[in-house]
A = this chain, B = another copy of it.
């Protein structure tokens, strides 16, 4: 995702909006740089201002089109310019006239991204530890083909352990990951939740299949059986 515009405040606004949407946004203010960056970064979508200093937006778009088939959204100050652009068949995929609402732009960008990969976002985040599986997308935990119901805290705790299997995690680390950085309270709380968790996944602390106690430190989730 690349934004090309010489008005810095506008760029910041757009960046802010798109980043909040979880997109990575690069930006530049002049045409030649833009072409260069498209070549190097291979963005999926380029938002391009028509009135750039140095190199015209139309020219930038044409150059980009010689080597890339990324989506290009043109920004233009005057509505009647859109007609001209369409007539010229510059190669842009969409047009937005200034002033525009950031929301509108975000919607268009998202529409582009949707088109670019119809079936990609469905990737799953699953972790296995022997017979135990944690699906962080569905927020489900399965043990031997049957689902285990966990509370939010228990789920986060187990996730924290299973994302780095075999690694011993201190109580403080676990608290930071599950309760957050600035949580204050007794670290003993971790023990209680580990206890509840163990009961639900039928894990015996004296003979653990999954959650092993690391004395003096904390806990670890051991891969394999």
Contacts and interface: CB of A to CB of B under 8 A. Distances in A.
A152 B217 contact: yes
B138 A167 contact: yes
A206 interface: no
Copies of this chain: 2
Contacts of A164: 121-122
The residue in A30, A118, A216 that gathers the most chain B C-beta atoms within 10 A of its C-beta is A216
Interface residues of A, number: 46
Interface string A192-219: 0000000000000000000000111100
A199 to B, nearest CB: 18
Interface stretch (A44-52, A60-68, A79-87): A79-87
A27 B86 contact: yes
B86 A28 contact: yes
Interface in A105-124: 106, 111, 115, 118, 121-122, 124
Interface of A: 8, 12, 17, 20-21, 24, 27-30, 33, 79-80, 82-83, 86-87, 89, 102-103, 106, 111, 115, 118, 121-122, 124, 137-139, 151-152, 164, 166-168, 176, 180-182, 214-217, 220, 222
5 contacts: A8-B82, A8-B83, A17-B181, A137-B168, A138-B166
Nearest 7 CB-CB pairs, A to B? A152-B216, A8-B83, A139-B168, A137-B167, A138-B166, A103-B181, A139-B214
